[in-house]
Amino acid sequence: MTKPMDGVQLAILNNRWESIARKMANTLLRTGRSGVLATARDFSCCIVTGDHKLLSAAESIPIHVLVGPDMMARSMAEFHPNLRKGDAYLHNSPYHGCSHAADLSVLIPVFDDDGRHRYTAVVKAHQADIGNSLPTTYMGAAKDVYNEGALIFPAVQVQRDYKDIDDIVRMCRMRIRVPDQWWGDYLAMMGAGRIAEREITALGKEVGWDHLAEYEQRWFEYSEGRMVEAIRKLPKATVRRSSTHDPVPGTPEEGIKINATVSIDPDEGYLDVDLTDNIDALELGLNVSEACTRSAVLIGVFNSLDPDVPRNDGSFRRVRMKLREGAVVGIPRHPTSCSVATTNVADRITNPIQAAFAEVSATHGLAETGAILPASMAVISGTDPRRNTPFVNQIFLGHTGGAGSPTHDAWLTLLHAGNAGMCYMDSIEVIELAYPIRLYDRRVVPDTEGAGQFNGAPSMVCEYGPAGCKMSVNAVSDGGINRPKGVRGGADGGASRQLRKRADGTLEELPVVISVEIDPDERIVSYTCGGGGYGDPKRRSLAQVAYDVREGLVSRERARSVYGVVINADGSIDEKETARLREAA
């Protein structure tokens, strides 16, 4: 294929690359052993070029893949300068490009017929257990990586000539609390990576490796051009906003306030994000790794622009970041713990960025997304009395959190900003079969939405407990004090809350960071964060308010007081009284 590449060829090859990433993801979903993979889908698959640029990441979790796979592949090549066909590497070091230690990744270099390293397949899968000192992969209170206790693999070779290096496998099986579950997930990850290797090799032979290299260049150039077009639709502006994580022991009294300054230069087609004005890293597990810091910035940017702009190295070139080494967000130094890097404080980077875009343009940006990790997403552990075997699993029993946008209501089950709605909620029947747990209640809470012209998601409440055993529950929640903010006149979303329900029905408020043991006759009650609203609630469509009331999402009283819409007992709209209320506002 020697002719210049046209737009049709570009589109066809882009779909071919995305189909490879989808095959990787389908393999992992269908063969993963843990509920984290096989039910919740907390994983991502992507492909980076031989010179370590993100090429394709179809249907992946943004905080996993926007930045990080490129850094991990680079560290793999630096640590192992003589890469060979049949190699595979374990990587989860947050100091060398991984998001956090729980996101164990398999990296497989792919070669052409001449032995030249052309691509790297990256399979990232969140682990239910990675050897932490507590049975959880989110150690909010960890003073450093040693206190965290996780197994750290900075691009450690785990296969040579397509065969496992047993020393590494034995180490994992000895240290991880659920070795058979880990082994099943490892095999699923390796299978996904080897499928990518097979498919990429076939594609290279079909169309030619040099033609694929030309595609990379053209695809990145096209993506960069689309990004420039999107930026030029914005006004020239500089906006400083902040978002604050709830205080926990070890944080400043106000919590962890994250400041972001966003500068838009439509003339030159660049966006600049400055995160240097933030506190130093804390002796906690809430610090954000460099990969997650950079990804969180890009999530806020892409949430705010034309959704058709491709997400790859080409478009990333138009976003310049200023980070500070040794800060709570930025570039952490070893042994700083980044145990919770993918979620809590990372979202406090994304939120002010997408809100800044909303501040400068009524057709861009988002309100703030709801905070996590609520107790309905805790890591549970114990001994299953049905099998007399240990279990560790992160549950996904309930999450909402979506933010209002300039044109639409929130995506209800977004989960959090870094996830973008990719993870599934647990099936009640499946999780009760797999683990000794009972779910007693799961529903949306009325009148908790971030009211706006376009609404943020309402909160959700879940009530669950162990079935015939004791159960440890570990979680790091946020958003109980600092609720998700609305923008352009929109209201804040609902707050999170978590409680222990005793056997006699009394409720005990639980702290933000919880590590509790629940007796067989006790339960956890968890309220998730909603999402902020976008725009004045009194500009919301009358028909939509009536629908919200009819569906039980909004009470008639709230419809009147917040939206200025009077709903009669039969569900009809009192148009005269509604007009009076809205005119008075």
**Are 224 and 218 contacting, i.e. CB atoms less than 8 angstroms apart?**
no
Q: Where are the domains of the chain?
A: 7-223, 366-540, 542-584
Distance of alpha carbon 115 from alpha carbon 209, whole angstroms: 12
**Which whole-number Å values give the CA distances from 456 to 140, 298, 368, in the listed order?**
27, 21, 9
**Helix, strand or coil, per DSSP, at residue 44:** strand
Provide the pLDDT for residue 231: 98
In tens, the pLDDT along 280-328 reads 999 999 999 999 999 999 999 999 999 999 999 999 999 999 999 999 9
The upper half-sphere exposure of residue 49, i.e. CA atoms within 13 Å in the direction of its Cβ, equals 17
The DSSP code for 315 is: H
Provide the pLDDT for residue 58: 81
Kindly give, in sequence order, each residue whose CB lies less than 8 Å from that of residue 297, ignoring residues fewer than 6 positions away: 260, 273, 275, 319, 321, 349, 350, 353
Fold of 7-223: Beta-Lactamase (3.30.450)
In tens, the pLDDT along 437-452 reads 999 999 999 999 999 9
Place of tokens 């997650």: 292
Give me the torsion for CA of 438, 440, 441, 442, rounded to 10°. 20
Single out the residue of 213, 195, 208, 186 nearest to residue 21, CA to CA: 195
Cβ neighbours around 182 below 10 Å, total? 24
In tens, the pLDDT along 230-257 reads 999 999 999 999 999 999 999 999 999 9
Provide the pLDDT for residue 1: 42
Provide the pLDDT for residue 2: 47
Peptide bond into 335 cis (omega under 30): yes
Extract the residue ranges of the chain whose pLDDT is less than 70: 1-4
Kindly state the tokens that stand for 405: 């946008």
Provide the pLDDT for residue 282: 98
Give me the torsion for CA of 306, 309, 315, 318, rounded to 10°. -20
Element (DSSP H or E) covering residue 212: helix 209-231
β partners of residue 472? 381, 517
Cα–Cα–Cα angle for 365, 295, 496, rounded to 5 degrees: 65
Kindly state the tokens that stand for 103: 């996101």
Please give the model's pTM, rounded to 2 decimal places: 0.97
